[in-house]
Amino acid sequence: MQIQANVSLGAKLFLSRVLRNPRQLGAIAPSSRHLGELLARHAAVDNYSPIVELGGGTGSLTRAMIKAGIAPHRIYVIELDKALAHYLKETFPKAHVIHGNAAELENILPPHILGNVHRIVSGLPMINIPEEIRQQIIESCFKILSPEGALLQYTYSPCSSIKSNAYGLKKKRLGTVFLNIPPATVWQYRKC
Ligand SMILES: C[S@@+](CC[C@H](N)C(=O)[O-])C[C@H]1O[C@@H](n2cnc3c(N)ncnc32)[C@H](O)[C@@H]1O
């Protein structure tokens, strides 16, 4: 009930943050339910391991993961924008929302989950992020993932937004969602 009431508030907040910082938000609208469902399906690999979400925004992907049956206490949402992080904390009180930078995951996540994360779900606007920071984010992701873990990233381009070869990663296209504004393609990255 609380989550539903917060959805329209979220839409207004998303728009106001886009107008304030379009590059950091990197989208004209929150992800659709359909994109959330695809990501949630690939994030739910078991019933217990922590899932880290990068760039929570107004919670479209968090909402989809909870709806898909992932217990909120398993979800750690990282959001750089203070107002959005505050909104996420209020909307998803049982999830762990951290106001922080995805380039510093090993410093901002609780120590007991480091190395135990099987999936990272990223809504970060990778192509807007300078290469140096992007590198820090990707390295940080693979510091906290388990050896068999994977990073899931969506992009509005049909091509991968991460140069997998440069980071020693193998990539796999998980699908394209046309019912999203704009249509988005989801990629999975693992260590070679
Ligand atoms: C395109 S929005 C995605 C929002 C939501 N996940 C969705 O799919 O609708 C990108 C989000 O990433 C956040 N962001 C950008 N750079 C970040 C960083 N370095 N660390 C954490 N969050 C970041 C932005 O503030 C924004 O909320």
pLDDT tens per residue across span 137-180: 999 999 999 999 999 999 999 899 999 999 999 999 999 999 99
| Topology classification of domain 2-191 | Rossmann fold (3.40.50)
Residue-level pLDDT at 45: 92
Q: Which ligand 1 atom minimizes the distance to the CA of 35?
A: 8
Q: Which atom of ligand 1 is nearest to the CA of 14?
A: 27
Q: Is the pTM of this model over 0.75?
A: yes
Helix, strand, coil % in the chain, rounded to nearest 5? 45, 25, 30
Nearest residue (by CA) to ligand 1, atom 14, is: 55
Distance between CA atoms of 52 and 75, rounded to whole angstroms?
6
**Domain boundary assignment for the chain:** 2-191
What angle is formed at CA 12 by the lines to CA 36 and CA 88, rounded to 5 degrees? Answer: 55
pLDDT of residue 36: 98
Instruction: Tell how far the Cα of 89 is from the centroid of ligand 1, in angstroms.
Output: 15
Nearest 5 degrees, angle CA 180-CA 182-CA 187?
A: 75
Q: Mean pLDDT of residues grouped by 10 in the chain (192 residues)?
A: 66 91 90 98 95 98 98 98 97 98 98 97 95 96 97 95 94 97 97 94
